[in-house]
Amino acid sequence: MDWMDDDDPQTEFVIDSVPEGYSSLGPPTEFCKKCKAVIWKEERKNKNVKKGTPTFGICCGQGQIKLHFIPHTPSYLKQLHNHPKKSKTFKRNIRLYNAMFAFTSMGGKVDHSINYGSAPYVYRLNGQKYHVFGTLIPNDGDDPKFFQLYIYDTENEVENRVKWIKVDDGEAIDT
């Protein structure tokens, strides 16, 4: 299922296809009156009531849990995500872009032995994790890294960040 429009409270879904041997309830069509969660009618708490307003408890415990509303996606990010040409590059490089704005780098002993076959990737650290963030100012002759990028040589901020990004396919990062 894909979200069609996250700004519309009456969100529509697209059902790709239901594999043989499975059944589908279709898209969720109800909203919790307390927290506005989108829910399937079959998940209502008052299943014995056929008419009237359904009540739900699995999302917010009928108002006992106060959920913070997530602000709408900024328009510039939404446009970039949905752009016919730029979206493919943006989606492919999103982790690289995120790394370019990191203040620290996480480290530890990564266990690579558990990833084999076609199962989802698992990231597991053995022992203790740590963060590397360097000094406030880079050593003489060294390029700035981590949070140094924000306070040192701000005129070349983007170029300094791109120096630390390693791209496997050799393509330049779209800045």
**Is the pLDDT at 106 greater than 80, yes or no?**
no
- State phi, psi for 39 to the nearest 5 degrees: -140, 155
**Is the pLDDT at 3 greater than 50, yes or no?**
no
Question: How far is CA 17 from its chain centroid?
Answer: 24
What is the rounded average pLDDT of the residues 139-161? 74
Task: Report the DSSP beta bridge partners of residue 13.
Answer: 3
Pairing of strands 13-14, 30-31: unpaired
Pairing of strands 30-31, 38-39: antiparallel
Half-sphere exposure of 46 (CA within 13 A, CB side): 9
| Domain extents in the chain | 1-67, 93-163
**Is the pLDDT at 141 greater than 50, yes or no?**
yes
What is the rounded average pLDDT of the residues 124-153? 78
Greatest pairwise CA separation for the chain in angstroms: 75
In the chain, the percentage of residues whose pLDDT exceeds 70 is: 77
Q: What is the pLDDT of residue 74?
A: 92
Q: Is the pTM of this model over 0.75?
A: no
Tokens of 45: 């708490």
CA distance 95 to 131: 18
Tens digits of residue pLDDT in 35-83: 888 999 889 988 888 788 888 989 998 889 887 778 888 998 899 889 9
CA distance 77 to 87: 10
Average pLDDT, the chain: 77
**Angle CA(154)–CA(158)–CA(160) in degrees, nearest 5?**
80
